[in-house]
Amino acid sequence: MYPKSVNNLIEAFKYFPGVGEKTAERMAFHVILNMDDIQRDFIANSIIQVKEKIKRCKCCNNISENDLCYICSDNLRNPDYLCIVEDPKSVISIEKQGIFNGYYHVLNGLISTLDGINPEDIRLDKLIERINQNNFKEIIIAVKPCLEGEMTALYINSVLSGMGLVISRLASGIPMGADMEYIDAITLEKAFDNRKKIS
Amino acid sequence: MYPKSVNNLIEAFKYFPGVGEKTAERMAFHVILNMDDIQRDFIANSIIQVKEKIKRCKCCNNISENDLCYICSDNLRNPDYLCIVEDPKSVISIEKQGIFNGYYHVLNGLISTLDGINPEDIRLDKLIERINQNNFKEIIIAVKPCLEGEMTALYINSVLSGMGLVISRLASGIPMGADMEYIDAITLEKAFDNRKKIS
């Protein structure tokens, strides 16, 4: 029913998460009917540029166009702190808030026995090498609090303990502004366990 | 915060309707972290292919890779009926249902004084030329029932009347399966006006 090139474009857009037949069709028609050639070229070229230019930072495994990402090349950051995150998206999330000024280390995902991601797959060798070559005082594990996150944090802790470092984990509890009645049981239990004395 | 190529990709994805900063970021990270080079190339190439190959059918103004679209090149269709639609998406919508076997004519949108689309912009000259060269018996106006659709239908009717053709308009009324309480006033009024005698 569609010309072949339109069919291909619809199939291509289905690679995106949450995009089914209808949305892919709408996107394809938008490209055909509403965009000009400059916009079409810009999208296609941007994808090709990202494919060709983006690699992993040799130091922290974050995404970067250079051998070292902009954070690892920044000498003004606090060299005492190393924050371990699960993926490059987490780096952006934390950086956007401007609350952390140390360095990052990006894992290759979280340990997940269900998905077949074993401890050796998250590549801690690079992390250990980096810790040995630097003088970090504290390692902050900032992976999300879920089964995989807990397993990963425990494993990292077991590997790094004995290296004379403070190892910490981001606090779990009730998010600011949340309604008590919508808090799930595990979060509430964590919030009770980690309660803080205020006077 | 992002490498330049990632920033460009995020900006590029914002060209799509309903895609804001957050969604564009998610799409860009999906391209970077979850797609392989074959998928990236397929998307980029599909956009370029569509840009280079898709043109308008010389006869009906539908999108096509050839001078004539697959409907206009089909001699087995019923040459008595010409269905006028507002855009190529409407052709697909009607074709998917398989309920119409005539030919189409795709307008350049609907007349809309608000958007500055005047009667001369929808290019009826091509339509009139086509009607003169063929032996259509009925022209079915299948533009959507809204202010712009009504204006366009009225204008087409005024231009084509006197050419000895039956001119019809798709029925307006309550859609099948709809709940009476959710029908808007204008649709309900149309349904009353166009009520059908059943015995």
Judgement on whether residues B93 and B163 belong to the same structural domain of the protein: yes
A46 neighbourhood in chain B, CB within 8 Å: 5, 8-9, 11-12
Mean local confidence (pLDDT), A41-61: 95
pTM: 0.81
Does residue A106 belong to any structural domain of this protein? yes
Residue B98 belongs to a domain with what CATH number? 3.40.1360.10
Judgement on whether residues A12 and A96 belong to the same structural domain of the protein: no
Mean local confidence (pLDDT), A165-190: 87
Judgement on whether residues B10 and B91 belong to the same structural domain of the protein: no
Residue A93 has pLDDT above 80, yes or no: yes
Q: How many Å lie between the alpha carbon of A29 and the closest alpha carbon of chain B?
A: 8
Does residue B64 belong to any structural domain of this protein? no
Judgement on whether residues A19 and A84 belong to the same structural domain of the protein: no
Please list the residues that pair with A168 across neighbouring strands.
A140
Q: pLDDT tier at A25 (50, 70, 90 boundaries)? A: very high
Does residue A160 belong to any structural domain of this protein? yes
Does residue A178 belong to any structural domain of this protein? no
Judgement on whether residues A111 and A28 belong to the same structural domain of the protein: no
As to burial, measured by CB atoms within 10 angstroms (0-12 exposed, 13-18 middle, 19+ buried), residue A167 is middle
Residue A29 belongs to a domain with what CATH number? 1.10.8.420
pLDDT tens for chain B, 199 residues long, are: 888 999 999 999 999 999 999 999 999 999 999 999 999 999 999 999 999 999 999 999 999 999 999 999 999 999 999 999 999 999 999 998 888 999 999 998 899 988 888 888 887 888 999 999 999 999 999 998 888 999 999 999 999 988 889 999 998 888 888 888 888 888 888 888 888 888 7
Does residue B58 belong to any structural domain of this protein? no
Residue from the list A1, A15, A47 with its beta carbon closest to the beta carbon of B92: A1
Domain count for chain A: 2
CB atoms under 10 Å from CB of A166, counted, come to 11
Tens-place pLDDT, residues A115-131: 888 888 887 888 999 99
Does residue A190 belong to any structural domain of this protein? no
Judgement on whether residues B118 and B149 belong to the same structural domain of the protein: yes
B63 neighbourhood in chain A, CB within 8 Å: 3, 6, 32-33
Q: How many Å lie between the alpha carbon of A83 and the closest alpha carbon of chain B?
A: 17
C-alpha distances in Å from residue B48, one per residue of A38, A45, B43, B44, B99: 11, 9, 9, 6, 33
Does residue A11 belong to any structural domain of this protein? yes
Check if the beta carbon of residue B6 is closer than 8 Å to that of residue A50: yes
Judgement on whether residues B89 and B142 belong to the same structural domain of the protein: yes
State the DSSP code for B80: T
In chain B, the residue whose alpha carbon lies closest to the alpha carbon of A45 is B44
Judgement on whether residues B47 and B82 belong to the same structural domain of the protein: no
ipTM above 0.85, yes or no: no
Does residue A150 belong to any structural domain of this protein? yes
Judgement on whether residues A91 and A26 belong to the same structural domain of the protein: no
Q: Do B11 and A46 touch (CB under 8 A)?
A: yes
What is the span of the domain harbouring residue B143?
Answer: 74-171
Residue A197 has pLDDT above 90, yes or no: no
Judgement on whether residues B115 and B157 belong to the same structural domain of the protein: yes
